[in-house]
Chain A
Amino acid sequence: MIRASDLGWRTRGKTILQGATLEIEKGEVLGLIGPNGSGKSTLLRMLAGLLKPSQGHVELAGQELARMNQREIARITAFVAQQADTSDRISVRDAVELGRTPWLDALRPWSEEDSRHVANALATVEMQGFETRDWITLSGGERQRVHIARALAQAPQVLLLDEPTNHLDIHHQLSIMRLIGRLGLTTIVALHDLNQAMSCDRLGVLHQGRLIALGSPAEILTPELLHCVFAVSATELIDPTDGTRVLRFRSMTQALPDMNRHDVS
């Protein structure tokens, strides 16, 4: 569905990202992990056609991304940015309706079908009942969910999500991750919570602008790699209720022996 080869981006003589090569199958969920500033957002923005790669190229649904216009891309790919805010007094319904933009033009005005997409998207993120609320009155997590609804209203085949679960409470974090799995869309999602990352089909690890590992969560989330990339030491625990792996982390830069002892006891 998406094929990126040797992607790189440099600005003002500084290399931000280089040599990223990856291929994502239809319906696959790829998680991107990596420390702050490692290039996750940069990679996602290039895959969304928002940033021209200074090296390499991207293929989306069999077409060269650089040759597609913005509208063609938007009909296939929906992008939820890490941050997007407005001071306009726009209502929730209006904000989600923006997702229909790539499907509308002067000859194809708003229709029942568009309303249906909007209602479904709002229901999917459990934001029914908020339709008439002003954007500025929403909490951070509610805003995030409206953004996701906007992306879903785009009826995309590919979903690019940049840290969709930050700002969300634990219930909605889990439900968004479950939703991503359930939608069956080709999804690339930048994440910080490594336990959430385990639910992805595959994981890519970015470190200092390089894609240093790509594989199944079990292959990727090893204590050695976590140590090397995130400078933490990780312990693997097994949840006795369902036998899934859980990671527990300790900082390596600041030893806190007292707390550790307390935790272990």
Chain B
Amino acid sequence: MTLVLTGARRVERGRQAMRWIGIATILVAAPLAGICIGETRIPLSTVLQVLANRLWDAGYAVDPIDEGIIWSYRLTRALVAGACGAALAVCGVILQSLLRNALADPYLLGISAGASTGAVLIAVAGLGAGMVPMSAGALLGALLAFGLVTLLAQLSGGGTGLRGTGQIILAGIAGSQLFNALTSFIIARSANAEQARGIMFWLLGNLSGVRWDDVWLALPAAAMVLLIGLWHIRALDAFTFGAESAASLGIPVRQVQAVLILAAAIATAVMVSIVGSIGFVGLVVPHAARFLVGVRHARLVPASALIGMVFLIAADILSRVMIPGQVLPIGVVTALVGAPVFALILIRGRASS
């Protein structure tokens, strides 16, 4: 009997170890692939040598141009893409759980619309007289829009709380429409053709201008929302049967809602300000993750982060290689590739149930 038990436990422990090895492999392999693959393919050995040079002063002889591309362009790009994918996916999980709405997504709260208005105000209308970077404008716009949306939700009879969570979604839709219209208005009034094209590109998601200071913004934001999400896995689970049921299970509902939604809003605002609005990730990755690991958040939150990371790095690679000599907006790729993949998952999920 004990023999069987220890045997079973050993199998379980072995499986656990395999899982961790798998996760670690993905965490390392995805950014590496993001660095190697591009318009010019760089051999893995060169990439590893550059990383060793930079991280541990290994002193390998590498072409300085290659080194520059790898360290300042490809690596930053891969890191920001990964952080952004992970953060948006976790934000999606959080909002879908708290708002009890399968269609909730980080951009629903007016955040991306506000960010684009902020960015356009800086870049096109010339607010801040060139002293304020566009991403700062986007961040401010995002937070302002989110504030307005929450206020509207509160005024319309309690956005969150025990019984009404529908209001904040409606308020988010109204806020998004308003800010999108403002953005279009500013572009139509003040932008020349060149600027309009640049803004369009940014609005659809763009990783090409990403540098190290963006990395130091994106990584902490992603880590913050991931850690806060992981800290609240039991609370997120408790919302399964609604906010009132969560409260009867001892969850301080208002406080948890405030902390989690604010964290998601800040993380999303930071991401939008760096890379523009990349749709689809926050909405679809959580659903894909649910098909794979189930609905319990102890697995769902890390799985979503991992899938979101891989998905966005892969989308970034595709955006660079799909049309030779031209970079597509990453938002276009996430939707073009993501929608069919998601359709497949939906069909397979149905078949297996």
Contacts and interface: CB of A to CB of B under 8 A. Distances in A.
B198 to A, nearest CB: 42
B156 interface: no
Nearest to A80: B248
B245 A84 contact: yes
Contact of A48 (B102, B248, B294): B248
B20 to A, nearest CB: 17
Given A81-B244, A94-B295, A101-B237, A87 B102 contact: yes
Contacts of A73: 250
A263 interface: no
A50 B234 contact: no
A204 B294 CA distance: 43
Nearest to B290: A89
Contacts of A85: 241
Contacts, number: 74
Given A89-B294, A89-B295, A81 B248 contact: yes
A84 B239 CA distance: 11
B347 to A, nearest CB: 16
Contacts of B249: 74, 98-99, 101-102, 154
Nearest to A147: B241
Contacts of B240: 86, 88, 90, 95, 98
B92 to A, nearest CB: 15
B295 A71 contact: no
A93 to B, nearest CB: 10
A72 B102 CA distance: 31
Interface residues of A, number: 35
B250 A50 contact: no
B338 interface: no
Interface string A99-119: 101101110000000000000
Nearest to B256: A70
B253 A84 contact: no
Nearest to A154: B249
Q: Select the residue from B234, B252, B290 with max chain A CB neighbours within 10 A.
A: B234
Contacts of B295: 88-90, 94
Given A69-B252, A86-B241, A101-B234, A50 B294 contact: no
A44 B294 CA distance: 33
A87 B103 CA distance: 13
A69 B250 CA distance: 8
Nearest to A84: B241
Interface string B236-275: 0110111011011111110000000000000000000000
Interface of A: 45, 48-51, 69-75, 77-79, 81, 84-91, 94-95, 98-99, 101-102, 104-106, 134, 154
Given A50-B162, A50-B247, 4 more contacts: A70-B250, A72-B250, A85-B241, A91-B294
